[in-house]
Amino acid sequence: MWDHEIRAMASSHAIIAASMLMATVIPAVALPGFSVYGTHLLWLYLVSGAVTAVSVAVFWLLGITPPTKKHTLGYKLSRFFRSCVYFFLSCLFFHTVVVLYGAPLIVSALETFSLAVLLTSLTTLRCLCVLGPNVQAWIRVFSRHGAMSVWDTCLQITVACTLVGAWVGAFPIPLDWDRPWQVWPVSCSLGALFGYLSGLVAAPAWIHYHRKQLIYKCK
């Protein structure tokens, strides 16, 4: 019954994935000396920027973002400002969590922060786009049966997949294989990205498979 929505979801995910791939390929062609392992931080910021821009555009065009209560410019600006603040707070939150997990506090702070920026742009940004800067709505969606629409379920799945991917990406760090992808934070960021991509693929598939059983509580 939500075929239209599932199709919209699948195509938007395809566009986001394509933008991520382009953010990898185009600089490799255009810039000399660019590589995923070598200039890793630059690549991280490029991918984050691409995902941010494309997500915001896609969700705005699809009309998923919750409508504002008032339509004054001031309100819109304050909403935008609050979104930016939440984005930054989420970056700090992820940075703290990664430091608590064992990342050095001072030595590789820039790398840790870049990883936090990536994680934020993959998870929090989507929350902001789909639900708006409304913390109550976020808590509601991430509680056990709080999804209200197909997009909420999709949000749950992609965020969970991204976080699990980043978590699994920490496994190769103690191994002494001396590979370039074991340098901090390459393995975790690659894990997060692969998690995100698999979430992008899995979410429409899962919803499509379970579309008969999904029941949403009406607001």
Partner 1 sequence: MKIRSSVFASFILIFEVIGIALFLRGFFPVPVRSSLSSKNKLSDLPAEPLTGRSPNSSRLPQPLFKRVVIMLVDAMREDFVFGPNGRMYMPYTRHVVERGSSQSFVAKARPPTVTMPRIKALTTGSIPGFIDVVMNLNSPALLEDNLIWQAKTAGKRMVFYGDDTWVRLFPKHFMEYDGTTSFFVSDYTEVDNNVTRHLDSTLKRDDWDILILHYLGLDHIGHISGPHSSLIQPKLLEMDDILKKIHSALISKEAEGSLPYLLVLCGDHGMSETGSHGGSSEPEVNTPLVLISPAFKRKVGMEKPGVVEQVDLTSTLALGLGLPISQNNVGRVIPSVLEETSLRDQLRFLHLNGHQLSCLLKDSMPDYEKEIGFEQFRVAEKAHGSWMKLYLEGNTSEVLSNMGKKVLKQYLEALAAMSSALSKQLGKYDMYSMITGMVFVFQLLLVLLLAMPEALSGAAAVDLPVLSALLSLPFYLLCLLLASVHVLVCTSAESSCYFCSLSWGLVFAAVAFSSAMFCILVSIATRRIPVGPKFRGTAPLGSSGGGGDWSLSELDVLLLAGTVGHTLSLAASSFVEEEHQTWYFLLNTLCLIVFQDVCRKYFREQSASEDEEEHILPSKDYHPSTYPKAEICSEKWLALATPLFTLVCCRLLRSLNQTGVQWAHLPDIGHWLNSSEHKMVLSLLSAFCLVLIYLLVQRRCSWVSKVALALGLLGVYSYRAAVGNVLFPWQHSSRTMSK
Residues that contact partner 1, how many (by CB under 8 A): 18
Kindly list the distances between the CA atom of residue 112 and the CA atoms of 33, 108, 188, in Å, as whole numbers in the listed order. Answer: 23, 6, 10
Looking at beta carbons only, is 27 or 172 nearer to partner 1?
Answer: 172
Query: According to CB under 8 A, which residues from 65 to 94 bind partner 1?
Result: none
**Helix axis angle, 3-30 to 186-209, nearest 10°:** 160
CA distance 40 to 114: 10
Residue 102 touching partner 1 (CB under 8 A): yes
The least distance separating partner 1 from the CB of residue 167, rounded to whole angstroms, comes to: 7
Considering only residues 122 to 161 of the shown chain, the ones binding partner 1 according to CB under 8 A are 136, 139-140, 142-144
> Is the omega angle on the peptide bond into residue 32 within 30 degrees of 0, that is, cis?
no
Distance CA 147, CA 206 (A): 15
Please give the Cα distance from 97 to 182 (Å, whole number).
20
Of 26 and 92, which CB lies nearer to partner 1 in the complex structure?
92
**Least distance CB 83 / partner 1 (angstroms):** 21
31 and 104 in contact (C-beta within 8 Å)?
no
Residue from the set 100, 209, 212, 213 that interacts with partner 1 by CB under 8 A: 100
Within positions 105 to 124, which residues make up the interface with partner 1, using CB under 8 A? 105
Q: Can you say whether the dihedral through the CA atoms of 161, 91, 11, 218 is positive or negative?
A: positive
What residues between 167 and 206 interact with partner 1 by CB under 8 A?
167, 170, 173-176
Residue numbers at the binding site for partner 1 (CB under 8 A): 97, 99-102, 105, 136, 139-140, 142-144, 167, 170, 173-176
